[in-house]
């Protein structure tokens, strides 16, 4: 059987993620340290786990409504108002999804006609382009620049717009750069978008992880932008709940209703146990967020300082939990750097090139790791850089 003929061209042509390789290699390595995976190192706070367990004890093991438990949607609605001044009605404007990942997939699949273009600032999370391609859309990558602190500028956005532009992804706070967009930055983009039919898909999964007193601002907070923005969010990063697979979409009722249709046929409803845990997170998790955020902040400064002391220039990330040091001074490509560093010192970091155009010359190091591991990784990095001289 020729399975290449069985598989559709769209999936055959999508490249595998450039991230996975490093986990597979790190696996059998003695004393390996991973600064590779984009996953919190904390356990899900106990009271949240307890709420999931308790729901099982009570026998809540059936499907929920397609859009998610009504109590969860109400809790999300209160949370968004309290933390980000966003107003979404629990009935009709909020859809509970299987992670932010499903939310992104639904948003693209419900909006794109074949040939529709989606503007994707890069370097950014690896899934946007492949998801757009798999739904017959065309990803249009726009390189953000270190000298602009990896923000998307209105000029860059304007240059990328064509008559086929259907949507722009706003991946801020950004994985892998740690860049954020402040209100004034968003306002400048809004001025380009007002009066067009272009939608914004705002991936706000790291909204709770911003530093230096900066609070995340959503594009949906800006005048005239609410009706053209779909907010993608989830529980993985803020509450350390990656394995629970909980996320949500918010937006105009007409769109969320359509997305609920697709979710209903493809998923039915997000995992029930996780939904009960998520209610607890929304209602009683603010303290957990703050504790983890403050821990990340200390690690962030430690790692950025460490890179700079070793002679690598490093933009100070303002959000998420990644640093993105520049490794051009080593003369290696970012992939060579990561391969050799892993092979010699057993530390996994990810080549910037895995995150799209503009990532070459940088590596992503995640600080969702213990201080002990970060300190050890820096020591090994010092040794590695020395060996290159
Ligand atoms: N968006 C970004 C920017 C991410 O980094 C991730 C996870 N790495 C996701 C979305 C998806 O997260 P999840 O499906 O766990 O909610």
Whether the CB of 274 sits within 6 Å of ligand 1: no
Whether the CB of 100 sits within 6 Å of ligand 1: yes
The answer to whether the CB of 118 falls within 8 A of the CB of 166 is yes
Q: Which CATH number goes with the domain that contains 305?
A: 3.90.1150.10
With vertex at residue 365, the alpha carbon angle to CA 364 and CA 368, rounded to the nearest 5 degrees, is: 130
- Ligand 1 centre to CA of 205 (Å) is 6
Q: Mark whether 291 and 210 lie in a shared domain.
A: no
Q: Mark whether 185 and 196 lie in a shared domain.
A: yes
Ligand 1 pocket test: pick from 36, 99, 124, 174 the residue with the most ligand atoms within 8 Å of its Cβ.
99
Whether the CB of 178 sits within 6 Å of ligand 1: no
Whole-Å CA distances, 355 to 123, 176, 360, 362, 372: 5, 7, 9, 10, 27
Whether the CB of 137 sits within 6 Å of ligand 1: no
Whether the CB of 248 sits within 6 Å of ligand 1: no
- Ligand 1 centre to CA of 178 (Å) is 14
Q: Mark whether 302 and 375 lie in a shared domain.
A: yes
Let me know if 378 is exposed, middle or buried by CB neighbors in 10 A (0-12, 13-18, 19+).
buried
Torsion angle of the four alpha carbons 25, 19, 266, 247, in this order, in degrees rounded to the nearest 10: 110
Q: Where a domain ends, among 285, 314, 333?
A: 285
Q: Mark whether 279 and 294 lie in a shared domain.
A: no
Task: Name the nearest CA neighbour of 386 among 378, 365, 303.
Answer: 378
Q: Mark whether 231 and 314 lie in a shared domain.
A: no
Q: How many domains does the chain have?
A: 2
- Ligand 1 centre to CA of 386 (Å) is 35
Ligand 1 pocket test: pick from 131, 209, 237, 239 the residue with the most ligand atoms within 8 Å of its Cβ.
237
Q: Mark whether 224 and 115 lie in a shared domain.
A: yes
Q: Mark whether 140 and 182 lie in a shared domain.
A: yes
Note the pLDDT of residue 238. 97
Dihedrals φ, ψ of 32, to 5°?
-70, 145
- Ligand 1 centre to CA of 232 (Å) is 10
Q: Mark whether 190 and 78 lie in a shared domain.
A: yes
Whether the CB of 125 sits within 6 Å of ligand 1: yes
Whether the CB of 355 sits within 6 Å of ligand 1: no
Between the two ends of the chain, the Cα-to-Cα distance in Å is: 52
Whether the CB of 247 sits within 6 Å of ligand 1: yes
Q: Mark whether 139 and 266 lie in a shared domain.
A: yes
Residue 36 belongs to domain spanning: 3-44+287-388
Q: Which CATH number goes with the domain that contains 204?
A: 3.40.640.10
Note the pLDDT of residue 16. 81
Note the pLDDT of residue 214. 85
CA distance 250 to 92: 9
- Nearest ligand 1 atom, CA 203: 1
Q: Is 142 helix (H, G, I), strand (E, B) or coil?
A: strand
What are the tens digits of pLDDT across the range 218-269?
999 999 999 999 999 999 999 999 999 999 999 999 999 999 999 999 999 9
- Ligand 1 centre to CA of 17 (Å) is 14
Below-70 pLDDT ranges, the chain: none
The answer to whether the CB of 181 falls within 8 A of the CB of 143 is no
Q: Where a domain ends, among 229, 256, 285?
A: 285
With vertex at residue 43, the alpha carbon angle to CA 41 and CA 45, rounded to the nearest 5 degrees, is: 135
């Amino acid at each position: 059987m020729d399975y290449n003929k069985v598989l559709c061209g769209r999936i055959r042509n999508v490249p595998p993620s450039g991230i996975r390789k490093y986990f597979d290699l790190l696996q059998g390595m003695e004393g390996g340290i991973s600064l590779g995976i984009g996953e919190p190192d904390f356990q899900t706070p106990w009271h949240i786990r307890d709420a999931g367990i308790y729901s099982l004890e009570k026998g809540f093991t059936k499907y929920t409504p397609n859009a998610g438990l009504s109590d969860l949607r109400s809790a999300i609605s209160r949370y968004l108002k309290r933390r980000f001044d966003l107003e979404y009605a629990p009935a009709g404007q909020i859809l509970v999804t299987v992670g932010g990942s499903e939310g992104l997939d639904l948003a693209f699949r419900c909006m794109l006609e074949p040939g529709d273009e989606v503007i994707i600032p890069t370097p950014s999370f690896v899934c946007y382009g492949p998801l757009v391609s798999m739904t017959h859309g065309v990803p249009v990558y726009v390189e953000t620049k270190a000298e602009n602190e990896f923000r998307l500028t209105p000029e860059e956005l304007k240059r990328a717009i064509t008559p086929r532009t259907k949507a722009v992804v706003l991946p801020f706070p950004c994985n892998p750069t740690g860049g954020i967009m402040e209100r004034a930055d968003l306002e400048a983009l809004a001025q380009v978008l007002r009066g067009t039919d272009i939608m914004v898909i705002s991936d706000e999964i790291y909204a709770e992880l911003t530093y230096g007193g900066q609070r995340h601002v959503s594009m949906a907070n800006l005048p005239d932008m609410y009706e053209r923005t779909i907010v993608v969010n989830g529980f993985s990063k803020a509450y350390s709940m990656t394995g629970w697979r909980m996320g949500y979409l918010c937006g105009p009722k007409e769109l969320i209703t359509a997305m609920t249709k697709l979710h209903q046929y493809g998923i039915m409803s997000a995992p029930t146990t996780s939904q009960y845990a998520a209610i607890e997170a929304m209602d009683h998790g603010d303290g957990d967020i703050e504790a983890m955020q403050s821990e990340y902040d200390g690690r962030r400064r430690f790692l950025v300082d460490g890179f700079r002391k070793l002679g690598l220039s490093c933009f100070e990330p303002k959000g998420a939990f990644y640093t993105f040091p520049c490794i051009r001074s080593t003369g290696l490509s970012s992939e060579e750097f990561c391969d050799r560093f892993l092979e010699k010192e057993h530390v996994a970091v990810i080549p910037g090139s895995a995150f799209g155009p503009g990532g070459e010359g940088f590596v992503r190091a995640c600080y969702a790791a213990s201080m002990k591991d970060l300190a050890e990784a820096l020591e090994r990095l010092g040794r590695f850089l020395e060996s290159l001289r």
